[in-house]
Amino acid sequence: MMQIGSMSSQATANLKLSPLNPLTRRSSSNLTRVHLANLEKLLQKPPLPEKLSSTQTVRQNVSENIDSGSTEKRGRNLLEGLNLARLWPEMRVADEMSPRHLNRLQQLLNKTGEGEYSPRNNLGRRWREYHGRDDWEGLIDPLDENLRREVVRYGEFVQAAYRFFHSNPAMPLDEAPKARHVALPDRSYKVTKSLYATSSVGLPKWVDDVAPDLGWMTQRSSWVGYVAVCDDKREIQRMGRRDIVISLRGTATCLEWAENVRAQLIQMPDEEGEQEHQAKVECGFMSLFKTRGAHVPSLAESVVEEVKRLMELYKGEELSITVTGHSLGAALALLVGDELSSCAEGVPPVAVFSFGGPRVGNRSFANRINEKNVKVLRIVNSQDVITRVPGAFLGECKPEKEKAKKTGVVGGMLDMLEDNMPLAYSHVGTELRVDTKMSPYLKPNADMACCHDLEAYLHLVDGFLASNCPFRSNAKRSLARLLQDQGSNVKKLYTSKAKSLSLNLERPGQGIMHFPISLPSPS
């Protein structure tokens, strides 16, 4: 008879192994540790639900803060536990913008790429609206998220032009320049042609003898931008058309600065009609646009030739032409848009996205641009003095002045002054106005270089919601790029927090970290 508690060897062999069965302790030590770890996971407390109501959150935070901390900190912890930022959006924005908000700040500082965009939505049939068909009516204030993305994206095309030029600014003296690769921020585009601007003035030869290493600054022709075309089927489908981009950098050489100060208005070459109503533009800008170089055509000739070639190559497709530029490049972009609008039959819609652009011509030139249906979106920083030159303030189109023009005597006097003053300049197009003081990161008294810097412009556009709203709390653009370019103009609270977060802008023995950004245009 078998006794209770005794088992045969056959029964023991047939017994299933179990991590909780003491008879199976003969297993290896590794297997035992695995079983114990699994047991610990089973005994752990279940996680809290991800979503709680605002009342539950407040109660939970209050109870946790009352139970923890000393008596002196209970009052402060009680207010923090209430989490008022969840209840009032204004306090939430202020909290997320605060330098104490380390998680958000660290996220922005650790981004070193070309930056993130607003959602990449399908523009589809609305592409003409975002390209300026209706002068961006209803999309500026408040700023549409799709338009914000497009503006930042075109600004980065200009940054690529800066970066490429500064990497190798010199040109050969005895032959035409060879084609070089331009790294674009958007890989769905490919560069098809390099563009060159030539100054009609020159510096004495002794300048090169005194400073031979700076010969590129005295050369009359310089690489100024490029033509690129979208070559990705998925991106073409998303945008609703194949986009041709002309990107132009700002002032970078001595001779370009010399052209900038030639501020007298001159008649456009093809302009006819009465003298007082003729379209006129700044002499220096027209010089850089129309002058041929020793081995390169003029900027006007190059752009027209390449756009005609692309129109023929992609004949039958939906096309658009987007001209974008910063500073001097913004002024040249207007001249490019004017030239392309009438260069051939069936020219695709032309839009200009300009950043920190100066005035280019008189009011008749602005009317000419409008009549040719060239759409212009001017991104302007209120603190940027470059956008208020050249010319007299009478050339500025402001609502109060337009209202005054409706009155007979005052309106007639303003028209007479604008038509006869030698520096009666006028801006062109629709304005998207940002302000350095709106950024929680930049000093309100930032210097001129910061207010005109292209990276600062893109930073302000990325955070712009509306003219009566604070900087958006979910802005995505990297702050590391802004710290490197304009560190002296960033508030000390954020620079100190950047150091406390161990953001190494400098590496021992390697100098400053080089993020993929453009050099700021001189201002």
Instruction: Give domain status of residue 332, yes or no.
Output: yes
Instruction: Give domain status of residue 343, yes or no.
Output: yes
DSSP 107: H
Angle between helices 479-486 and 454-463 in degrees, nearest 10: 150
Top pLDDT among 264 and 510 is at 264
| CATH code at position 217 | 3.40.50.1820
Report the alpha-carbon distance of residue 110 to residue 16 in Å, rounded.
54
Domain count, the chain: 1
pLDDT > 70 in the chain, percent: 64
Residue 522 in this model has a pLDDT that exceeds 60: no
Report the alpha-carbon distance of residue 94 to residue 42 in Å, rounded.
42
Top pLDDT among 499 and 292 is at 292
Report the alpha-carbon distance of residue 251 to residue 255 in Å, rounded.
9
Q: For position 178, what pLDDT does the model report?
A: 87
Which residue range(s) make up the domain with 117? 113-391+424-434
Report the alpha-carbon distance of residue 17 to residue 14 in Å, rounded.
9
The per-residue pLDDT for range 297-334, each reduced to its tens digit, is: 999 999 999 999 999 999 999 999 999 999 999 999 99
Q: For position 480, what pLDDT does the model report?
A: 81
Q: Are 207 and 219 in contact (CB under 8 A)?
A: no
What sign does the dihedral 119-125-129-130 (CA atoms) show? positive
Residue partners of 462: CB distance under 8 A and separation at least 6 = 115, 148, 152, 475, 476, 477
Angle between helices 454-463 and 145-167 in degrees, nearest 10: 170
Q: Which of 296, 129, 161 is nearest to 226 (CA)?
A: 161
Q: What is the mean pLDDT of residues 49-59?
A: 46
Which helix (H) or strand (E) segment holds residue 194: the answer is strand 189-198
The per-residue pLDDT for range 178-223, each reduced to its tens digit, is: 888 899 988 899 999 999 999 998 777 777 677 666 677 788 999 9
Q: Are 430 and 376 in contact (CB under 8 A)?
A: yes
Report the alpha-carbon distance of residue 350 to residue 338 in Å, rounded.
9
Q: Torsion angle, CA of 283/284/285/288, rounded to 10 degrees?
A: 120
Cα–Cα distances in Å, from 426 out to 84, 280, 387? 48, 10, 11
Report the alpha-carbon distance of residue 328 to residue 365 in Å, rounded.
17
Q: For position 252, what pLDDT does the model report?
A: 92
Q: For position 465, what pLDDT does the model report?
A: 94
Instruction: Give domain status of residue 56, yes or no.
Output: no
Q: For position 82, what pLDDT does the model report?
A: 46
Report pTM.
0.74
The per-residue pLDDT for range 338-374, each reduced to its tens digit, is: 999 999 889 999 999 999 999 999 999 999 999 999 9
Instruction: Give domain status of residue 2, yes or no.
Output: no
The per-residue pLDDT for range 81-105, each reduced to its tens digit, is: 444 444 444 444 444 455 455 566 6
Measure the CA angle with vertex 439, ends 435 and 442; round to 5°: 100
Instruction: Give domain status of residue 62, yes or no.
Output: no
Instruction: Give domain status of residue 362, yes or no.
Output: yes
Confidence of residue 519 (pLDDT cuts 50, 70, 90): very low
Instruction: Give domain status of residue 55, yes or no.
Output: no
Q: For position 116, what pLDDT does the model report?
A: 46
Cα–Cα distances in Å, from 519 out to 201, 221, 332, 482? 25, 20, 19, 11
Q: Is 297 helix (H, G, I), strand (E, B) or coil?
A: coil
Of these ranges, 6-20, 193-207, 224-238, 391-405, the one predicted with the greatest mean pLDDT is: 224-238
Confidence of residue 482 (pLDDT cuts 50, 70, 90): confident
Q: What is the mean pLDDT of residues 67-91?
A: 45
Q: What is the mean pLDDT of residues 50-75?
A: 45
Instruction: Give domain status of residue 323, yes or no.
Output: yes
Q: Is 386 helix (H, G, I), strand (E, B) or coil?
A: helix
Q: Are 215 and 170 in contact (CB under 8 A)?
A: yes
Q: Which residues are catalytic?
A: 327, 384, 452
Residue 10 in this model has a pLDDT that exceeds 60: no
Q: For position 36, what pLDDT does the model report?
A: 65
Confidence of residue 119 (pLDDT cuts 50, 70, 90): low
Q: How do strand 506-507 and strand 511-512 relate by DSSP bridges?
A: antiparallel
Top pLDDT among 494 and 193 is at 193
| Residue 470 preceded by cis peptide, ω within 30 | no
